[in-house]
Chains A and B, each alone.
Chain A
Amino acid sequence: GAVVSQHPSRVICKSGTSVKIECRSLDFQATTMFWYRQFPKQSLMLMATSNEGSKATYEQGVEKDKFLINHASLTLSTLTVTSAHPEDSSFYICSARIGGVHQPQHFGDGTRLSIL
């Protein structure tokens, strides 16, 4: 069964709306979660590393004020796309890893965000 749950799976909203996406680890604690963005027919691009109890680490070119990440507990990280615009439309995916370095990451099912 799924070990990482992501919600919602699909969002359609008007330009200027802020959208919150949740990523939950099920039955395990995740001190670190990762947020990716994926454009159609392209690969995953890491946006940020979410750290429980501390500030997220953003990749170069990702606006911190645009993509707010909160990792308030060991099982929940949220990504808020603030004042979303059509260019923010994309597929957003989170992941978490159970255990040490030679363990795979477990991915949520992704959120399809469409800004009108």
Chain B
Amino acid sequence: SQQGEEDPQALSIQEGENATMNCSYKTSINNLQWYRQNSGRGLVHLILIRSNEREKHSGRLRVTLDTSKKSSSLLITASRAADTASYFCATDAKDAGNMLTFGGGTRLMVKP
């Protein structure tokens, strides 16, 4: 079963607005990663946040991690139509042999 749960499952916003996606997980982790997937394509890595980090930024992306609540959030600021995609969190759990466990994903639609 998937370790991560994401909400919302789908999100529709207007261009220029911010989009926030949340992810929860169950076990101890080495790190948590966020990926983006355009329809019918592979996944593209966005940000990796280590278990001892609380916040990380990359351009318009901001990721937070709360290990006490076993949760993470991805914020996309000033969204663009090109941000339309599915976003997945994935956990690299301790003692899991390098494998990633993915959340259910959030389908983001940004309307121009």
Interface residues in chain A, defined as those with a beta carbon under 8 Å from any beta carbon in chain B: 4, 6, 32, 34, 41-46, 49, 57, 91, 93, 95, 97, 101-110, 112
Listed stretches B63-71, B75-83, B95-103; interface member: B95-103
Residue from the list B42, B98, B99, B104 in contact with A43, Cβ < 8 A: B104
What are the residues of chain B within 8 A of A97 when measuring CB–CB? 98
* Per-position binary interface string of chain B over residues 91-112, scored 1 when its CB falls under 8 Å from any chain A CB and 0 otherwise: 0100001111111110100000
Find out whether the CB atom of A102 lies under 8 angstroms from the CB atom of B48.
Answer: yes
Given A43-B2, A102-B30: A112 in contact with B42 (beta carbons within 8 A)? no
Given A101-B30, A101-B92, A104-B33: A46 in contact with B42 (beta carbons within 8 A)? no
Find out whether the CB atom of A101 lies under 8 angstroms from the CB atom of B31.
Answer: yes
Whole-angstrom CA separation of A91 from B30 in the bound complex:
28
Total count of chain B residues near the partner, CB < 8 A = 25
Given contacts A41-B107, A101-B98, 17 further A-B contacts (CB under 8 A): A4-B42, A34-B99, A42-B104, A42-B105, A43-B2, A46-B100, A49-B98, A57-B97, A91-B40, A93-B42, A93-B43, A95-B100, A97-B98, A104-B33, A105-B33, A110-B41, A110-B42
Q: B50 on the interface (CB 8 Å rule)?
A: yes
